[in-house]
Structure 1
Amino acid sequence: MDKRGFFRILLILTIMVAYLITFPSYGAEAYEKIFHLSAGFDEGTKIGPTDVSKQTKVEALNQLHTQTEEWQKDKKITLQYVEKKAALDPNVIEFQPKTSVKEAVSGQENPLLCVVDKSAIEEAFREQFPKVSKKSLDYDAIASDLQDIASSLQKGETVIDLSLYLNKEEKQEVVAEALLGKEVLTPELQDFIKQTPEVKLKSNIAFSFLDWMEEADDMSLDEDDKNVLSSLLYRLVLQTNFLIFEKNQGTELPSYIELGYEAKVNKVKELDFIFMNESPADYTLDLKVVNNKLYGAIKGLPFAYDYKGILKNKKVLKPKTILHFSPNLPYGQWQLKQPGKNGELIQMYRVVYNEQSERMKEEKVSEDFYPPVHRIEVYSTQEPPPPVEKTEEPEGSEETLTDEAEKAPETDQPKMETPPVQEPPATQTEDSSKQTPAAAGQSSKEAK
């Protein structure tokens, strides 16, 4: 090898060694200069909520990476639709820290850029809220609000109320309805319904039936009309998630109300029907007359679950027989002072079904008790009349008396007879103190 070739190889090796020694030190600096990463941000520069004043772009980028990763790890996003809540994975939001740093203007407040995966949101909604129509939700508005939440790196729990993103048609559906027969309709009740066709059931505000009547200032309705309205409203509330605070019943079930559905109201006795709409949205009570029948409905957002009132554990309570005794009745007679009537007991439960019509839970709402009316029988306490004493007659007098009786003329005087003892009809009794009429007479004689 000649000297020229030797020096050529030596020069190449020297250049390579120099490159390897100097690149780690000056390569990063050159990269920063080329891409302007070494340039610092001026005072008052923000990217989202993060202050990057006097930081290089590399420092700002590292800080944004740390903050967004912590946010996605700790952030809790909750989707709420009426009474149901479900968690949304924060990872449906993808942050763009590099683009945010690159497009940031020094000395100004700049947004923290991010994108929302709409397809992931739609999939989560279908799984968690299958009753909500896909077409009824504004997904663009939901994605926009999620971007604002993420850009500001809001801490803590964020609740997304889906009812705010529904179209108007979805917000006014019939969620509960009931129909009562024409026998409950009075002219006064029909006039009241014409004057008060709708009533607002506001969110998280207790509704008092007596307060409603006072606000309506209608003196034409009697107690029966008001009980018809309150019982209709009770039927409707059982089909919702509304909380029931007070519900009463009388001692005797009115003939116009079905067992288990009475909600008695009385201003004098302070008997009220009170409930509360605990949903985030308002609802409307709609009353009208349909085919001479009383129709009631609650309109508003469809519930996530289905609710149904179910009657259980019905019991029939047999009346007792109570015996009274009176000296005013003739001997051997009795009277039925009060016929007996069965009592009843029944429980109302509200059952909740999920989207697959599976029973989720049930709660006892009320227990209505109507005591039996006892049978009352009144018996005479008079003593039996004394027996007729027989006297001894001389021989042959019987024939003489008989002949005289045959010859005696007939008169209009009635014949005196001892009244027969009337036996009461066979009845079952639970009263251990019941006595027969004969025993009653005997007890009276012993008392004398």
Structure 2
Amino acid sequence: MSQKVVTISLSSILLLFIMSGAALASDFRFGKQYADHTYVGPFNISNNKAKQAKSKLASDFSELQSKLEVNLIYQDIQFSLPPEAIKFDIDMTLANATSGEDNPIIAIVSREALQTVLSQELPKIQFSENAIDSIATGIEEELQTGIMPRNVHITDYFGVDEIQTEVIASSEYSIDGISPSLSKAIHALDQSVIGPFESFSMLEVLTSSEVGPLTDEELTLLTSMLYTATLQTNFQIDERNISTAITTDIQAGFEAAMNQTLGLDYKFTNPNKTEFTIQADWSAGAINVSLEGRPLYYTYEPSVTNIETYKPRTVRQYSAFVNDGQVVVSQEGKDGVEAIVKRTLSVDGKVIDTEDVSEDFYAPIHRIEIHPLSNENSSAIENTNSEGADLPQDEETTSDNRTETSNPGEAGNVDEPGIEESTEGEIIYDKSGLPKSGK
């Protein structure tokens, strides 16, 4: 008896629901208006009857179609989806609209047109039928707001197995042995993940308590390897420094110096919508650093396009504590270097663009010689100074030293041959900070 009552009650509720729905549909057919604050995307259909709302949306959708701009983004390439591939369904939009609320625009993306565009723009990627349908559905969801332009990252709408990850950049440095701390640093760097639009700081990773104390030289070596790898991608370099002097371990133009005391860091940002993983290890007498992720569209190839050497000068200092006939070298000289780095972007071996990366300059380190202070050269220097001659700016002197500068192999004259002067008599200095007399 009770079961029948329950059955009848449920049937009655269902019947009332159907009748209410039919009455609601009937109300719109017979002229009931949409309530206040009824929107379809950005378009207001409040206080419009169904026929009026359809006519208004037809005009709004036509204008929207003329302004349609859908940009499809895959990693480092962006291309447009033609407006003809998209159709706005007015009837379906109104059928799903709720009076008094914000409602989505129903758009339909042609799967065939989408597949054609993707195969033309990304010929190396074979999209499955499921991937095409998933991407099309994603675009339709993005178009529900009706706000233009729309930037659609297609990697959001297909599975991780659709495009396999691979090594996209790498760097290698041969070394017979490494310290325990450097070994721990390599292990800490290994498997670091840089998420979409995420920034990465080398100091944060390599100065953790798990790594242990590292020298700035070890930090610089490992960081320069990662910098070399990131130059082979579209990653954005946020902070990068170089040392005051070039090192023989790292090629000029590819150094990323670290200094824990000064807080000099190496930072970069992943501008892609997919994540990348750093792989780092030491084996077979070499440190290897690589970046693994979904392949990029362009191939990035950095190179040193120009390198220029600046010879050091010889700075002579005179001291009463140096015996006659003796010359003490207090600092060996070292060449200065200027390296210009550029990067080419190519597709299938065809260069698309060339961009500037950096201009690194390492000033020369001047050779410093300490000569005996004899009466002859002491009076010569005093006479020269009394005549008002300008000494070069980079001279160094101690309390009991007198200093003069010359090119290697020249006599110790203060006035150097070949110094260029402007019309006002001002001395022109080169990049070494000394008067011009050749490199």
Q: Do the two structures share a fold, i.e. TM-score over 0.5?
A: yes
* 1:363 CA displacement: 1.9
Q: 1:272 aligns with which of 265, 268, 279?
A: 265
Counterpart secondary structure, 2:207: helix
Indicate if the aligned counterparts of 1:189 and 1:225 stay in contact, CA closer than 8 A. yes
Q: Counterpart of 1:118?
A: 111
Q: Structure 1 residues 43, 286: closer, same or farther in 2, change over 3 A? A: same
1:275 alignment partner AA: F
1:433 alignment partner AA: V
Q: 2:182 aligns with which of 189, 196, 210?
A: 189
Q: 2:121 aligns with which of 117, 122, 128?
A: 128
Q: Which moved more, 1:333-342 or 1:224-233?
A: 333-342
Aligned length: 353
* 1:325 CA displacement: 4.0
More helix by share: 1
Would you say 1:352 and 2:345 are equivalent positions? Answer: yes
* 1:373 CA displacement: 3.4
Q: 1:161 aligns with which of 139, 153, 159?
A: 153
Counterpart secondary structure, 1:188: helix
Would you say 1:239 and 2:220 are equivalent positions? Answer: no
Q: How does 1:95-244 map to 2 (within 5 A)?
A: 95-97=88-90, 115-135=108-128, 138-150=131-143, 152=144, 154-169=146-161, 170=163, 172-183=165-176, 185-215=178-208, 217-244=210-237
Instruction: Tell me the TM-score normalised to structure 2 length.
Output: 0.67
Would you say 1:362 and 2:342 are equivalent positions? Answer: no
Q: 1:430 and 1:42 mapped to 2: Cα distance?
A: 105
Measured against aligned partners, the alpha-carbon deviations of 1:248-292 in whole angstroms (never above 9, x if no partner) come to 222333332223222111111222222222223332212112323
Would you say 1:286 and 2:272 are equivalent positions? Answer: no
Q: 2:30 aligns with which of 40, 51, 56?
A: 40
Q: 1:137 and 1:128 mapped to 2: Cα distance?
A: 19
Q: 1:433 aligns with which of 400, 414, 417?
A: 414
1:287 alignment partner AA: A
Counterpart secondary structure, 1:134: coil
* 1:148 CA displacement: 3.9
- Percent identical: 20
Q: Counterpart of 1:74?
A: 67
Would you say 1:373 and 2:366 are equivalent positions? Answer: yes
* 1:166 CA displacement: 4.0
* 1:361 CA displacement: 3.2
1:159 alignment partner AA: N
Would you say 1:298 and 2:291 are equivalent positions? Answer: yes
Q: 1:187 and 1:62 mapped to 2: Cα distance?
A: 75
* 1:161 CA displacement: 0.6
Would you say 1:260 and 2:253 are equivalent positions? Answer: yes
1:156 alignment partner AA: M
Instruction: Tell me the TM-score normalised to structure 1 length.
Output: 0.66
Indicate if the aligned counterparts of 2:33 and 2:49 stay in contact, CA closer than 8 A. no
Counterpart secondary structure, 2:258: coil
Q: Structure 1 residues 137, 184: closer, same or farther in 2, change over 3 A? A: farther
Q: 1:308 aligns with which of 292, 301, 314?
A: 301
Q: Structure 1 residues 242, 199: closer, same or farther in 2, change over 3 A? A: same
Q: Counterpart of 1:444?
A: none
Q: 1:116 and 1:230 mapped to 2: Cα distance?
A: 46
Q: Structure 1 residues 360, 212: closer, same or farther in 2, change over 3 A? A: same
Query: Unaligned regions of 5+ residues in structure 1, if any?
Result: 1-35, 384-425, 436-448
Measured against aligned partners, the alpha-carbon deviations of 1:115-156 in whole angstroms (never above 9, x if no partner) come to 422221122223333454434981101222333455x46222
Q: 1:232 and 1:210 mapped to 2: Cα distance?
A: 15
Q: 2:157 and 2:231 mapped to 1: Cα distance?
A: 27
Q: Structure 1 residues 327, 91: closer, same or farther in 2, change over 3 A? A: same
Measured against aligned partners, the alpha-carbon deviations of 1:297-336 in whole angstroms (never above 9, x if no partner) come to 11223222222221132111112233344556665x2435
Indicate if the aligned counterparts of 1:344 and 1:372 stay in contact, CA closer than 8 A. no
* 1:181 CA displacement: 0.5
Counterpart secondary structure, 2:350: coil
Q: 2:265 and 2:233 mapped to 1: Cα distance?
A: 19
Q: Counterpart of 1:94?
A: 87
Q: Structure 1 residues 347, 66: closer, same or farther in 2, change over 3 A? A: same
Q: Counterpart of 1:250?
A: 243
Measured against aligned partners, the alpha-carbon deviations of 1:220-247 in whole angstroms (never above 9, x if no partner) come to 4333221221111111121122222322
Q: 2:96 and 2:220 mapped to 1: Cα distance?
A: 68
Query: Unaligned regions of 5+ residues in structure 2, if any?
Result: 1-25, 377-406, 417-439
Q: Which moved more, 1:270-279 or 1:181-190?
A: 181-190
Q: Counterpart of 1:442?
A: none
Measured against aligned partners, the alpha-carbon deviations of 1:27-61 in whole angstroms (never above 9, x if no partner) come to xxxxxxxxx9x95355559996675987465x555
Q: 2:309 and 2:57 mapped to 1: Cα distance?
A: 73
Counterpart secondary structure, 2:361: strand
Indicate if the aligned counterparts of 1:138 and 1:166 stay in contact, CA closer than 8 A. yes
Q: 2:129 and 2:289 mapped to 1: Cα distance?
A: 26
Q: Structure 1 residues 356, 66: closer, same or farther in 2, change over 3 A? A: farther
Indicate if the aligned counterparts of 2:229 and 2:290 stay in contact, CA closer than 8 A. yes
Indicate if the aligned counterparts of 2:315 and 2:369 stay in contact, CA closer than 8 A. yes
Counterpart secondary structure, 2:152: strand
Q: 1:196 and 1:105 mapped to 2: Cα distance?
A: 52
Report which of the two structures shows the higher radius of gyration computed on alpha carbons: 1
